[in-house]
Amino acid sequence: MIKIIESPREGLQGIVKLIPTDQKVRYINAVLKAGFDTVETGSIVSPRVVPQMADSLEVLNRLDLSDTRSGLMSLALNRKGADILSTAGAVTHISYPFSFSPTFLSLNVRSTVEEALATAGYIVNLCGQKGKTAVIYISYAFGNPYGDDWSPDLLSAWVEKLAGLGALIMPLSNVSTEISAGKISEVYGSLIPAFPDVEFGLHLHTANHDWYPKLEAAWEQGVRRFDTVIDGHGGCPMSGKEMLGNLMTQNLRFFLGKHKEPDGLDDEAFGTAVGIAGETFNY
C-alpha cells in the first residue's frame, strides 16, 4: 500500500517571512481534504530558532478535521516537545529527527548521539502509552557531509538499536546533501531484507531535475512510504548547510502514475490544495 506523507511543516519552516496563522490554517485544511495518509502540520521548536513554527499548536487547534482521513503528525525535538504533543488529541503521530551524526545533532537538536537515542526511545514509549504512533526519522542516512563516521554497516547497527527500542517506522533522509540512485538502492537493498518488521520510508531532498531515478531506486527495493511537499518547498534550516528542496508531491504522483499505482488522492481537492499552497508560499 502506498503511503504519502505530506509535510506543510517542511515547506514552511525555512521561509523567513512569517506567514499569518490564518493562511497556514487555510493551507493545511486544504491539504487535509486531499486524502494523504498523514499530514505533518508543525513542530515544537524554539521560536527563536524557527520563528515560522511558533504558532504550530494554535494552527493544530484550529484545523477542521471533519472531512479528512489523514493522520496528523507533528515534530518534537526533545522530550518536552513530545510531552506537549502527547496531550494534543488531534495528533496521531509524533516524529523525531534521530541521527548518528554528532555534528547534525549538535546543530539540530542540541544533543549527543546517546542522548538522541534515549529521546527516541522515550518518544516510542510515550506514543505507546498515549495511543499515538512514533515516527523516528534517520537524518543523513545515506552519507555524511560533515566528516562524521558513516557506513552501511554503521547505519544498520543504529537501525537495530532503534528497532530494539520498539521503533517500527523509520523514514530515511539525506537532509541537505545530494545522493545518487545507486546509494539509495544500496541502503534500502541492505536494510529492508534485514529488518522486515520495520517500515522504511524515503524523505528525499533533491533537485528537481534528477528525482525520477532516485524514486525508481527506492521503489525497486520495496519502499512504499514517501514524504512530499507540494511544489517541493522547504528543507532543514538547522543543518548548517544550504537548504535542499523536498520531493515534489506532483512528481511523486507522476511517478506512481507511470507505475499504474493509485495514490489515493482526490484530484479536485489536491488541485485546490496546490493553488492555496502557491498563495501561501508566495504570501
- DSSP one-letter string for 90-107: T--EEEEEE-S-HHHHHH
Of residues 16 and 79, more confidently modeled = 79
Segment 63-70 shows an average pLDDT of 96
The pLDDT value recorded for residue 241 is 40
Residue 37 scores a pLDDT above 90: yes
**Residue 117 is inside which H or E element, if any?**
helix 113-130
- Counting residues of the chain whose pLDDT is more than 90, the rounded percentage is 85
Cα 124 from Cα 51, distance rounded (Å):
27
- Counting residues of the chain whose pLDDT is more than 70, the rounded percentage is 96
DSSP state of 245: P
Residues 6+ apart with CB under 8 A from 225: 3, 5, 169, 171, 199, 200, 201, 202
Q: For residue 228, what are the β-bridge partners?
A: 6
Whether residue 232 contacts residue 251, with contact meaning beta carbons closer than 8 Å, is answered with yes
Residue 42 scores a pLDDT above 90: yes
**Residue 173 is inside which H or E element, if any?**
strand 169-173
Query: pLDDT tens, 190-218?
Result: 999 999 999 999 999 987 788 999 999 99
Query: pLDDT tens, 121-178?
Result: 999 999 999 999 999 999 999 999 899 999 999 999 999 999 999 999 999 999 878 8
Segment 32-60 shows an average pLDDT of 95
The per-residue b/e assignment along 147-179, b for 16 or more CB within 10 angstroms, e otherwise, is ebebeeeebeebbeebbebebebbbbbbbbbeb
Distance of CA 102 to the CA centre of its chain: 20
User: What's phi and psi for 127, nearest 5 deg?
Assistant: -60, -40
The pLDDT value recorded for residue 242 is 45
C-alpha separations of 278 from 11, 24, 42, 65, 234 in Å: 11, 12, 18, 22, 13
- Nearest to 118, CA basis, from 130, 131, 136: 136
Residue 239 scores a pLDDT above 70: no
The pLDDT value recorded for residue 244 is 64
Q: Tally the domains of the chain.
A: 1
For residue 245, what pLDDT band results from cuts at 50, 70 and 90? Answer: confident
Residues 6+ apart with CB under 8 A from 80: 44
- 244: domain CATH number is 3.20.20.70
The pLDDT value recorded for residue 175 is 82
Residue 198 C-alpha cell reads as: 520495520
C-alpha separations of 14 from 2, 31, 208, 224, 245 in Å: 28, 19, 18, 27, 10
**Residue 58 is inside which H or E element, if any?**
helix 56-61
| Bridging pattern class, strands 169-173 and 133-139 | parallel
For residue 235, what pLDDT band results from cuts at 50, 70 and 90? Answer: low
- Structural domain boundaries enclosing 72: 3-281
Of residues 46 and 69, more confidently modeled = 69
Query: pLDDT tens, 248-270?
Result: 999 999 999 999 999 999 999 99
- Nearest to 189, CA basis, from 156, 211, 163: 156
Residue 276 C-alpha cell reads as: 492555496
The pLDDT value recorded for residue 236 is 56
The pLDDT value recorded for residue 208 is 77
Whether residue 95 contacts residue 45, with contact meaning beta carbons closer than 8 Å, is answered with no
The pLDDT value recorded for residue 240 is 41
The per-residue pLDDT of the chain, averaged, comes to 94
